[in-house]
Amino acid sequence: KSVPMRKDSLFHMASNTKPVVATAILQLVEAGKLGLDDEVRKHIPPFDQGDAARITIRQLLNHTSGFRINSLFLNPLMKPSAQHPDAPNLRLEASRFGEVGPKVKPGTTYSYSNPGYNTLGALVEIASGMSLSEYLNQRVYAPLGMVDTCNHEPLADPKRMSALFRREGEGWRISWRPGGPPKVPFPRASGGMISTAADYAVFCQMFLDGGVRGESRLLSQAHVREATTPQNRHVFSETERDDPGHRFYGLGWRVRGRIFSHGGSDGTFAWVDPERAVVGLVFTQSTGSVNPKAQFMRVVAAACKDDG
């Protein structure tokens, strides 16, 4: 049956998780526990081989690591063993990417990488001494008052979870129901976040306000600027660099002109327009469909213009 969406409905945020994980990395950089230009091998020893040894944290953040792994993790996942009784988990699975290594020289090309962000999640755990979920709960969600946000389906309230829909012919079918199994059996950093529109708007507002929420500073203004400024322009052609409509990647955010944004494959999209002081969100739960973000962004821009 059809159920009306609630103001506090919970959404699969998919890759809208990435700006949040990037925020955690930048916090740990500010705390002196990581360096943006650290080679990953400094923190994850299996990366100390071949071209994997040249991958830096900054390259993972802006998708120029050279990874060409087309799955979230290597398949199959590790199984519990005497050496690793807690397998599979984020740190163990991310360590395996070092053995595969980059397909092309790190820092020379752009290719959107879920394994790259899952490696960043492992770095959060290593540098902080907490699980990814614990760190985000304590250092990001709590200071922002994001009381409805978590990073794994089993932790979310099934009564408020939205079903996922997928286009099938002329209609739709439900591809995931509340209470269904998670895509991955542990919290990951490439996706997996569960949130509400209100919670995610607060996260975006923190960036619009220069890293501050109320009395809490989550990021320095310098790192907010760096995160929302193109970080991979050098890998594109001169024509692409000169194109005002070209979309680059910052540190956790897509950047086009003055606007920074991110979307998720399950239908969520959020953008921040500092010039107009606007945060916009268009949330669906329609995997693989076209989010009506472009139309909504045009309507918002026109409304801002009409307001003078």
The per-residue pLDDT for 169 is 85
The per-residue pLDDT for 290 is 80
The per-residue pLDDT for 308 is 57
The per-residue pLDDT for 288 is 80
How far is the C-alpha of 278 from the C-alpha of 282, rounded, in Å? Answer: 13
Going by the DSSP 8-state scheme, the letter that residue 252 receives in this structure is S
The per-residue pLDDT for 307 is 65
Q: Which residue's entry shows tokens 């194109």? A: 243
How far is the C-alpha of 115 from the C-alpha of 124, rounded, in Å? Answer: 14
How far is the C-alpha of 146 from the C-alpha of 198, rounded, in Å? Answer: 8
Instruction: Report how many helices (DSSP H) and strands (DSSP E) the chain contains, helices first.
Output: 10, 12
Q: Give how far the C-alpha of residue 254 lies from the chain's centroid of Cα atoms, to the nearest Å.
A: 10
- The reply to whether omega before 85 is within 30° of 0 (cis) is no
- The reply to whether omega before 76 is within 30° of 0 (cis) is yes
pLDDT one digit per residue (tens) for the chain, 308 residues? 577 888 999 999 999 999 999 999 999 999 999 999 999 999 999 999 999 999 999 999 999 999 999 999 999 999 999 999 999 999 999 999 999 999 999 999 999 999 999 999 999 999 999 999 999 999 999 999 999 999 999 999 999 999 999 988 888 999 999 999 999 999 999 999 999 999 999 999 999 999 999 999 999 999 999 999 999 999 999 999 999 999 999 999 999 999 999 999 999 999 999 999 999 999 999 988 888 998 999 999 899 887 65
| Residues with Cβ within 8 Å of residue 68, at least 6 apart in sequence | 102, 103, 104, 111
Q: What is the pTM of this model?
A: 0.97
The per-residue pLDDT for 5 is 85
For residue 105, CA distances in Å to 19, 70, 101, 102, 298 come to 25, 17, 10, 7, 39
